Structure 1
Amino acid sequence: MADASSNMIDLSPEVLAAAEESRAWPFEEAKKIVARYKGKNYPETVLFETGYGPSGLPHIGTFGEVARTTMVLHAFRVLTQDKVKTRLLCFSDDMDGMRKIPENVPDQKALEPYLHMPLTVVPNPFGGDSKSFGDHNNAMLCRFLDTFGFDYEFASATEYYKSGRFDAVLLRAVECYDQIMAVMLPTLGPERQATYSPFLPISPKSGRVLYVPMKAVDAKAGTITFDDEDGEETTLSVTGGRVKLQWKPDFGMRWAALGVDFEMFGKDHQTNAVIYDRICTILGGHAPEHFVYELFLDDKGQKISKSKGNGLSIDEWLTYAPTESLGLYMFQRPRQAKKLFFDVIPKAVDEYYSFLSAYPRQEWKERLGNPVWHMHDGNPPVVDMPVSFALLLNLVSASNAQNKDVLWGFISRHASGVTAQSHPELDGLVGYAIRYFDDFVKPTKVFRAPDDVERQALQALSDKLGTLAPGADSEAIQNASLNVARQIERYQDQTKKSPEGGPGVSGAFFQMIYQVLIGQERGPRFGSFAGLFGIPETRALIAKALAGELA
């Protein structure tokens, strides 16, 4: 079992003082748990839980729950000076019946005979070592969580139900059947009320999870009686994995059985949270502290779904960016709905390294609000990233680079002493940039031919660049380009002022450069791009555009 308390954390007076004042959301949530036990003794272990429904392949939203919960757990350890043992449990509801066949699995027809059977009984359609569909999806989740270095314990509903770990609370649920029904029935329509039961028996004959009304509930015997699919009256004990609970009562039962102190969930659960809490209380538990986060959306603004496979998978993000960029995306604005698709990746990458660069210069109050402090358990690494991801993407575009060596030729010339060996993180980013460009940027590139004014502007820019010293830095290149634009009426911005007091430069000038030279709507700072690409190479690119070789 992984124990989160085994990791050393910084408990210096400066950190503790900043933590008490911090308004970063992980600290705000951790303070709720501290208040939960104010005036009381902490339990042997404060339990943080995350839930996973393996009805479809894991997506980043699932990972996000673990990442964010880990951040709250670390903040709690700091606030309690690491004197309280903590535990993170990732719980998979893999005993749930497969109500529909996911759209993103191979050979969907082969799974049809297993509809409504527990996910850990449905055969694994993907091949490999996992015996069932549920086992396969659980393994995919754990593989990533292990890769990212999370300190957690995985739990399977199937194992917990069948091993008897829930038996005592399930027997309590039989005793409190009427109370549970009194909570649930008002939330249902008339038709559903007539057949609803919080208990879902597993048919001894078909193996399917049954949604059937109860004919009898015997608190003394701990049994339920119902009609099986063939109409035969059947009585089962609620213990030993013969029966599971409907998902809403199951939340409350699990919290009561395990003594969960904190669990976050998506906004789609928000209206049900009061139901989970009430059932937990009925079963003798103390409902945990909650944190409700907004849902992730795909590129069309639709909620991402495991069964549909829309949005991004964990593996897809990691094909194009380092894991840290994903951690940052999870930290930022968790209560705000965010698009989770490929075009968010470059910004997340560059923002991560920007926060990392700022961290050493910050006071402790700012550090504890910096995402990298929370992402790295208070110990962010020291990484020198001399070239941004956005700049690398434009360099790939301009140079048509197909391998790392080509890009490193430009980088090493631009940044003296910077090599793949001295900067392994940058070397990794170079590989990501090539893959991202090939798959997402290149297919959408649309070059356009310059009009007469733009041709004159580009020629003037090339001529001006030709007057610069061979080793001119990015600032000199940027200033030279601004001086060219200020002389052209189309690109003058009267709302801005140049250092000499004349008109400033409109952003349309640089947008034109990227549209004509790179085939994109926008790019990083032109001086930085041309400095990295090289002045002769930039002039040659302009010449190609003027000769009609790009559009």
Structure 2
Amino acid sequence: MTDHRTPELFDEAMASKAWPFEEARKLLKRIERSGDKKEVLFETGYGPSGLPHIGTFGEVARTTMVRHAFSLISDLPTRLVCFSDDMDGLRKVPDNIPNGDMVREHLDKPLTAVPDPFGKYESFGHHNNAMLRAFLDRFGFEYDFASATECYRSGLFDKALLRVLEAYDEVMAIMLPSLRAERQKTYSPFLPVCPRTGKVLQVPLEERKPEAGTVVYRDPETGALVEVPVTGGHCKLQWKADWAMRWYAQDVDYEMSGKDLIDSVKLSSRICSALGGTPPDGFNYELFLDEKGEKISKSRGNGLTIDEWLRYASPESLELFMFQAPRKAKRLYFDVIPKTVDEYFTFLAKYPGQSLKERLVNPVWHIHLGDPPTVDMPVSFALLLNLVNASQSDDREVLWGFIRRYAPGASPETHPVLDNLVGYAVNYFDDFVKPSKSYRAPSDTERAALEDLAERLGALEAGAPAEEIQDVVYEVGKSHPFESLRDWFRALYEILLGQEQGPRFGSFVALYGVEETRALISQALSGRLAG
């Protein structure tokens, strides 16, 4: 986190309308009310029964943005803990792992007691924790990792667990009204870890002994009464009580969560208060939607994975997607990527010329934690996609030949970010655009306009700039009987590029080349594209 706070920066941060600053100011008021904080703790949670996903990235990225914003308005040190709920019992065998039969023999045991089906780590929980840490490290996040198993077994949570036992009736009074009548009969916030089988048991308690710090349950298989301590990893808590206990034990100040957890946050906050703690600040972000506008579900697999995004675009563009309107439900599908990529570079290009006030609401300031890079991006992602389309080439050197003509002096060595973008464009075109392309033949009106365009392009001087070419395209559209210029441009895209939308056509011609565009028009008029 690179900012050196100045009085001007502090003043602007205290007034900025960017949502991370709004969250940071809210958190500052909380800290000032408590009066005795020596460290501000941010936290995110991870359920390691599966691999990290795009939602995990979003939560850590957004929390990091708030943490950085807070660092500009407070001198208190901060820490981000990524907490893994790896003591949860494994309830079902995931579909996407090897050695499922072996794992099935260990159902209901803590994830850190289930053998690793991949054969690489001490347990399945350790494997997925390693994947989480590699995932977070890949993006350069600054965080501390915490394992529920270690926290429970080391005694870190012992004091808080004993407090839950003392406040058992209050916790039950909060939880029971939220449960179905049938579940109310058997619910207990404590889940004993069976000393005989090692399984995390969901059983009613027969007796509580706060003075001894133990609970008594009946073994569901043998019928024997078993007494176990609530400390030292002999019990864990049901997740809403567990969440509250964790906030209380660690004095967590900030944790955000998805909109689907609003009711859970309310319950856990009440439990945390009942224990004598102060629930953390945070906000509920909206969930992502698939291409049909339906909620994305990990189990259904109807969303875009993080590896898919990173095949077509940079991590920074994904952070932009996460930054924008976090409280608004957004479609997370392949077709949002090109627009998001170009928006990222547009924000980056605006940054150097902006005032400090404008910079603090610019997403790239938050994405790059106050230190956005200077990047020369002479070609947009949308243009590159259409260049790959029209040239029918995925050869990077061929594509760079077009780029060098459009932007003399540019090369993979001088413009490495653009070179990466070329690779992304090839991947995106091959995987997503090419399979859905559909050229059509021109109507009589469109044929006449295309012939006119080819002729007028041929009359341009060599090296004509994109704006001059765009003027010619407009003039042709106006001189032919289209109902609107929008119909003319749609015709260009559908007939020449096989798609409904495209970039500024003058810029495309300048990049692809005037003679190459005239040849493309000739192909379309002869029926070779639509055929």
Q: TM-score range by the shorter chain?
A: over 0.9
Distance change in 2, residues 1:509/1:104 (3 Å): farther
Residue 252 of structure 1 aligns with an amino acid whose one-letter code is: A
Residue 388 of structure 2 contacts residue 429 of structure 2 at CA under 8 Å; is this kept in 1? yes
Letter of the 1:221 counterpart: A
Give the secondary structure class of the aligned counterpart of 1:87: strand
Which residue number corresponds to residue 511 of structure 2? Answer: 532
- Given the superposition, is the C-alpha separation of residues 53 and 427 from structure 1 closer, same or farther in structure 2, using an over 3 Å criterion? same
CA distance, structure 2, for counterparts of residue 253 and residue 175 of structure 1: 13
1:170 to 161, 171, 178: 161
Determine if contact 1:57/1:309 at 8 Å carries over to the other structure: no
Q: In the alignment, which residue of structure 1 is the partner of 2:393? A: 401
1:337-387 per-residue CA deviation (whole Å, 9 max, x = no partner) reads 112222211111111111011111111111111111111111111111111
Question: Alpha carbons of 1:286 and 1:293: their partners in 2 closer, same or farther (altered >3 Å)?
Answer: same
Measured after TM superposition, the shift of residue 40 of structure 1 is 5.0
User: 1: distance between equivalents of 2:101 and 2:518?
Assistant: 59
Q: Deviations over 1:387-424 (max 9, x none)?
A: 11111011001111122111100000110111111111
TM-score scaled by length of structure 1? 0.93
Q: Give the whole-Å Cα distance in 1 for the aligned partners of 2:471 and 2:381.
A: 23
State the match for 1:513 in structure 2: 492
Deviation at 1:67, TM superposition (A): 0.5
Residue of 334, 337, 342 corresponding to 2:334: 342
What do residues 504-524 of structure 1 show as CA deviations (whole Å, max 9, x unaligned)?
A: xx2111111111111111111
Match of 1:496 in 2: none
Q: How far apart in 1 are the matches of 2:520 and 2:244?
A: 64
Report the counterpart of residue 266 of structure 1 in structure 2: 258
Q: Secondary structure at the match of 2:348?
A: helix
CA contact (8 A) 1:253 1:280 kept: yes
Given candidates 137, 146, 150, the residue that maps to 2:141 is 150
The reply to whether residue 355 of structure 1 matches residue 355 of structure 2 is no
CA distance in structure 1 between the partners assigned to 2:277 and 2:369 by the alignment: 31
Q: Which runs of 5+ in 2 are unaligned?
A: none
Verify: 1:16 aligned to 2:10, yes or no.
yes
- After superposition, give the CA deviation of every residue in 1:215-252 in whole Å (9 maximum; x if it has no partner): 11110111111122313221111111121100100111
Alpha-carbon spacing, 1:24–1:34, altered in 2? closer, same or farther (3 Å)? same
Cα distance between partner residues in 2 of 1:401 and 1:62: 36
1:295 and 1:303 in contact (8 A); partners too: yes
Matched, 1:210 2:201: yes
The residue that corresponds to 2:28 in the other structure is 34
> CA 1:132 to 1:508, structure 2 compared with 1: closer, same or farther past 3 Å?
farther
CA distance in 2, matches of 1:52, 1:151: 16
Quote the offset at 1:128 in angstroms.
6.0
Relative to structure 1, is the Cα distance of residues 30 and 134 closer, same or farther in structure 2, using a 3 angstrom cutoff?
same
Cα distance, 1:104 vs. partner? 3.4
Counterpart in 2 of 1:141?
Answer: 132
For the aligned residues, what is the CA RMSD?
Answer: 1.5
| Cα distance in 1 between the residues matched to 2:161 and 2:312 | 46
Comparing 220-229 with 193-202, greater Cα deviation is found at 220-229
Q: Where do 4+ consecutive residues of structure 1 move more than 6 Å?
A: none
- 1:548 aligned to which of 508, 527, 530: 527
Structure 1 unpaired stretches of 5+: 1-6, 494-505
Q: Please give the alpha-carbon distance, in whole angstroms, between the structure 2 residues aligned to 1:207 and 1:309.
A: 32
CA distance in 2: counterparts of 1:106 and 1:526, whole angstroms: 50
Of 325, 329, 338, the residue aligned with 1:333 is: 325
Specify the alignment match of 2:186 in structure 1. 195
Aligned counterpart for 1:44 among listed residues 38, 41, 46: 38
Residues in 1 aligned to 2:499 and 2:86: alpha-carbon distance in whole angstroms = 45
3-state SS in 2 of match to 1:465:
helix
Identity among equivalent positions (%) equals 58
Aligned equivalent of 1:77: 71
Q: Distance in 2 between matches of 1:114 and 1:39?
A: 47
1:86 aligns with 2:65: no
Q: Distance in 2 between matches of 1:131 and 1:166?
A: 23
Distance (Å, rounded) in 2 between the aligned partners of 1:124 and 1:540: 59
Instruction: From the superposition, tell whether residues 106 and 545 of structure 1 become closer, same or farther in structure 2 (CA, over 3 Å).
Output: farther
